Amino acid sequence: MEKKLLIKSKELQDSQDKCHKMEQEMTRLHRRVSEVEAVLSQKEVELKASETQRSLLEQDLATYITECSSLKRSLEQARMEVSQEDDKALQLLHDIREQSRKLQEIKEQEYQAQVEEMRLMMNQLEEDLVSARRRSDLYESELRESRLAAEEFKRKATECQHKLLKAKDQGKPEVGEYAKLEKINAEQQLKIQELQEKLEKAVKASTEATELLQNIRQAKERAERELEKLQNREDSSEGIRKKLVEAEERRHSLENKVKRLETMERRENRLKDDIQTKSQQIQQMADKILELEEKHREAQVSAQHLEVHLKQKEQHYEEKIKVLDNQIKKDLADKETLENMMQRHEEEAHEKGKILSEQKAMINAMDSKIRSLEQRIVELSEANKLAANSSLFTQRNMKAQEEMISELSVPSKLHTSLPAEDDSVHTQSSAVLPHETVTFQMSLSLGLDLRPGSLRKQPQLNSSSSARVGKSLGAVRLPLGLRTLLLEYEIPGNWYRTNLEALQLAS
């Protein structure tokens, strides 16, 4: 009996070790659950970080898109400004060409007017020369006539003097005639004086006419030379100015034209200055246009680089977003699996905790039953000593002891088939087990101590214990002396009535 009790204590120790192992497994499971929770929290933190990074990347993408749109707008504006500057420059060139054409037309018109005026002046001079020649011819004819008349008067005077001398020679009678002749001579002298005066006047007029003719010839020669010079120097503006100055000295009528030419020159100078300023402005505008074209090309190149960079960044960000989405999906799947694992582990831990609590209660009940059985054995041994004289009592006690000993032996297969280790039921053969095995099996399955005297104060089995009896003893056939053993062990009636159905199911 002591050996069997030692075996039972070892088995109890093994069951306690198994319970301790299960507690360690529970702690390991709790630790694993905490690790899974930590991993899950870390995954959530990484998910939040990835979401923040994704939002930042989306913000950067939006900023890059806005920068691209602003750069495109600035490029369009620069293109419009360049086109406007080109239009202005073309309009300015057109205006300058128009003004230069108008100035050239004005110059040509003025030059033609000056040439016409010079031609008119030459015609007038030629007409004056012809009229002067006619007057000189008239004066020459009058001078010849006056010279002829003077010579005739001289001849007549000489003739009269000869006649007077002849008359003096002839005598005094001819004194009257001589007086008459003197009177005639005086009259002739007066006429001669008058003719001389007229001759002097004619000479003076002829000299004046000759001088005028010479002057007219010189003027004609000068006009011809000037005309030749004008014809030879039509393209020379300085010669035109000199000719205009000489014409101003000769003709006061050309002053207005000269003034007009001066105003035209001033206007021409102003136009030249305007043309120079416009040309400078055009040059500046051309420089600005070149600078703007350079800037435009640089902006286009930078915009192309920026577009390429943006496309690369967009691709990079899209790849990152795809990777993050895949990672998020993977993290969500891991999270779901971890949550399922946590839920399953929690359920397993809860079930194992229930099983451990039940096993602890069973172990405590078994300890109390073993102590009560030991006490009952001691009492039975004392009772056997006292009732040694009664053979029938002795035989019955011996039979009960044998049945109890046969029932106390528990096989290892039934112990390993407990629900704490595995829920599977190892089926046994239909052969009848020994009496101790059945007794110990009943002790373990019913949660009772079947040792002598230990069942006086046993609690009633609950529904889970009853179900466990049916589950663990489904493959065990109870011996015929089970009812006698239960009666002999003084199992209370209420417990027997309560668990009779489970015992029947087990048998």
User: What residues contact residue 79 under an 8 Å CB cut-off, 6+ apart?
Assistant: 296
Cα 216 from Cα 386, distance rounded (Å): 202
pLDDT digits over 200-240, tens only? 665 666 566 567 667 666 766 776 676 676 666 555 556 55
Length of the chain (residues) = 507
What pLDDT score was predicted for residue 485?
47
Q: By the 8 A CB rule, do 479 and 403 touch? A: yes
Residue 316 confidence (pLDDT) above 80: no
Q: By the 8 A CB rule, do 416 and 444 touch? A: no
User: Which residue has better confidence, 391 or 455?
Assistant: 391
DSSP, collapsed to helix, strand or coil, labels residue 493 as helix
pLDDT digits over 260-279, tens only? 656 666 766 676 676 666 66
What pLDDT score was predicted for residue 235?
54
Residue 286 confidence (pLDDT) above 80: no
Q: By the 8 A CB rule, do 455 and 372 touch? A: yes
Q: What is the 3-state secondary structure (H, E, C) of 207-231?
A: HHHHHHHHHHHHHHHHHHHHHHHHH
User: Which residue has better confidence, 446 or 91?
Assistant: 91
- DSSP structural state of residue 475: T
pLDDT digits over 130-188, tens only? 776 777 677 677 767 767 866 776 777 677 667 666 655 655 555 565 566 567 666 76
On average, the pLDDT of the chain sits at 66
CA 239 to chain centre: 69
User: Looking only at Cα atoms, what is the longest distance across the chain?
Assistant: 268
pTM of the model: 0.26
pLDDT digits over 24-71, tens only? 877 787 787 778 778 878 878 887 877 887 778 778 777 777 877 777
Lowest mean pLDDT among 279-283, 395-399, 501-505: 501-505
Work out the pLDDT band at 386, boundaries 50, 70, 90.
confident
pLDDT digits over 447-496, tens only? 444 444 444 434 444 444 444 444 444 433 444 444 444 444 444 444 44
Instruction: Tell me whether residue 169 is exposed, middle or buried, using C-beta atoms within 10 angstroms of its C-beta: 0 to 12, 13 to 18, 19 or more.
Output: exposed
Work out the pLDDT band at 305, boundaries 50, 70, 90.
confident
Residue 102 confidence (pLDDT) above 80: yes
What pLDDT score was predicted for residue 501?
46
Q: Cα-flanking dihedrals φ and ψ of residue 456, to 5°?
A: -75, -35
User: What residues contact residue 483 under an 8 Å CB cut-off, 6+ apart?
Assistant: none
User: Which residue has better confidence, 472 or 289?
Assistant: 289
